[in-house]
Each structure stands twice: as C-alpha cells, then as structure tokens.
Structure 1
Amino acid sequence: MKLLSLMIPSKDKFDDAVHGILNRTEYAHLKNPIKDFIKDIKDNLSNALQKWFKKKLLNMDNPAKVSDTLSTVFMIIGILAIMAIIVIIIVKINKTFERKKRVKEILGEKIDHRTTPATLRQKALSFKNTGDLRQAVRFEFIALLLLMHEKNLVYLDETKTNEEIFKYLRKSNFDRADVFKRISDIFNQTWYGHRLADEESYNQWSEGVELLWKKVIEYEG
C-alpha cells in the first residue's frame, strides 16, 4: 500500500505536472482551442485515474490482487508516457505551422519565400560598403526582426511597433530586451530621423545588433 501511494501521484501533483509542461514560455504562442483541447483531455484522464486508483486500493485484500494492480499501474504509467509524447508532438507540429505563417512585409520591405535573415544582412553589408549607412541600418534591423520571428521569439504583424516588441520581450523575460530597446531607438533615429552621423556611430550600432543576433540564434522557441 505504501509503495503504491508513492507511485501514484495525487490529483494536484498530476495537474501541476501537466500544467507546468503546457504553460512553458515556448508554448505561449499557442491559441486557446488547442490548449483547451489538451486541458480537457488532461482533466478527464486525471479524474478517471483518481477514481480507478481509489477503487483498486479499497479492494486490495490479498497478494494476488496487489500483483494485478501493480501490473495495471505500470501499464497505465506506460500509457501516460505515450500520451505525454503525443502532446509534445502536437505542440511541436502546431509550432511548425506557426513558423510557416511567414510575415509578408517588415518596415516596408517585401518578404517572400526567398528572403532570409542572411540575405537581408547581406544587403545591409552591401549598403555599408557603398557608404549608405542609413540603408545598412534599415536592412540589418529588418534581418534581425525576421530572425526573431522565425525563432518564435516574437510574432510580427502589420500593427506591431518596435515599442510593442520591446514590451513583449521584457514581459517574456528575454534577457536582451534592453539591447533591443537600444538598437530600435538607434534605428528610429537613423531611418526616420536621419541622425546617424558617422561610421563610428554605425559601429556602435553593429555591436548591439551582433550581441542581440547571437542571443536570438541561441533561443530555443
């Protein structure tokens, strides 16, 4: 009996474990229908298991029943493990579909299936080499935004401003949110305010972009 009590989680522990998985930050982008569907499955399964365990524990009065119950417990544990894998697969598939919803335009630049953060950054380098630092800043910033979108760090749409992105990053506890704020301010001053004075200022901008770029690359969304 004591062994079973150790093996069989309470309803609260069961709920907390599943809730913890489904509410990780990397799953924050999931919409309510899928989360509600998974929650319904979890609740129904939890209730059914609790009733079954209570019934079995009350009726265990000989070693044979104990052995049969233990076998069933291990079978249920295996089933739960399989179901956990299925839930993870569903979440991953949904994330894949979200990634395929590519943004069509960033800061006036058309984004098609051939556009990647790398190609945009190459354009930025070309403009830098010709001395057009304003366009270089624009394309490098667009490249960074697209990378953040593809890594599921943020989800871009036509109404999301740089300030809204910064607030989202800060709310999500992204530890380079302050860097994003700094380079987005420099972008605004450069592109909209025409205030990037010289190559030294551009180099300072590039250092911030490089720092953020590396962090986004490491992000597992």
Structure 2
Amino acid sequence: MMKEEKAREELKEILSRNEYQVYYEDKRNTLQVLWDDVKAWLADMLAKFFPSLEATSSVAGNILIVIISVAIAILAIIFIFFAVRYRQRRTIGKQQPFQSPNELEWSYQQHLKHALKQEELSDFSLSTRHLFLALLLYFHEKSWLEAKIWKTNWEYYEELRSAKKDSADLFFNFALLFDRATYGKQQIQKEEYSLYRDKALKWLEGENEDV
C-alpha cells in the first residue's frame, strides 16, 4: 500500500514538471486569443438573436471576416476620398487665378465677352480661363468673396463656402478645370467646357443669385 502511494506521489511530481505542463499551456498569441474571444462573443450574440441559426465558431468566424472586410473597404473609400480632396486642394491652392493687375481691372462683362469670342474660335482652354475670371469678378461684385491678385482659388473657395455654401462645390470643380486650362497647359474639350459654361452663364445673367 505504501509503495502504491509513493508511486502516485512520484508520478504526480513528474507530471508537475515544466516539460509535462507545457503541453497544457495556451500556446496562442494575443491576436489569436482576441480573435477566438471575439468569435465566441459573436457566436453567443447570433445564438441569442437567431436561435434557429447554428451559431458555431466557424460560422461566427466567417461572419466576422465579412464584417472586417466591409469595414476595411469603407475605410479605404474614405481614405481615397480625403486623399483625392487633399490633392485637389493642393492643386487649386498653389496658383493665383489673376496673372496680372489688368485682368483684375477688367469687368466681369469684359471677361465674359472675351470668353464667348474664344468659344467661337473653338479655343475652349482660353474661353474657360476668361469665363472663370468673369465668374470670380461677378462673385466679387456680389460681395460673396473679395478678389485680390495675390489670392489663390482655394482662398476664394473658402470665402465662397462661407457666403454661398451651395455654390462652393461647383466653383471648386470649375477651379480644377481652370487650373488644367491655365497651368496644366491642357486643351480643354468642348464637352468639358460646356458643362460649366451653361451654369456660369446663369450666374452671370442673374438667374442663379439664390442658388
């Protein structure tokens, strides 16, 4: 009897040693433990709200993967949106639209007349430039912004957003086309120009004062 008890004690001591206890330790890292805990929580929630659903760990894991994928996609879209917006801000914020004091001294009617003349000659890049300057000076007359030779389009956009918020987005996009025509040295196509021409004329003809 004493021998059996002694043998049990020796066996118990052997099994308590590190080389044997290591098999019973949790070998998962922190991320794996967190993942399993979240899966278990999700499985419990699914079981509560959808009792008929077999809320196993694998089902919870698949649903969790879908949720994470959707979240990553949404974050990616948000990031791209703000990255594009930031790039656009830098684009329209680097240059001043008025390149000389003479351009600033012209009335918006003079710029409009010159824009329509260049339109007849199919020079839509130059027409875009003068139509945009006409719009700026018109906004200046309406006190929606203050035209200065040193100001950038981004500064005008910020002023317009404060005074006429509903018109600021159109101005912003028109400013991008203006920058392409003026500083990007790109040939503006009739279709691109026409998108802004009709809207700009509504403003300049007084039809869009409340827009």
Q: TM-score, normalised by structure 1?
A: 0.45
* Higher radius of gyration, 1 or 2: 2
Q: TM-score, normalised by structure 2?
A: 0.47
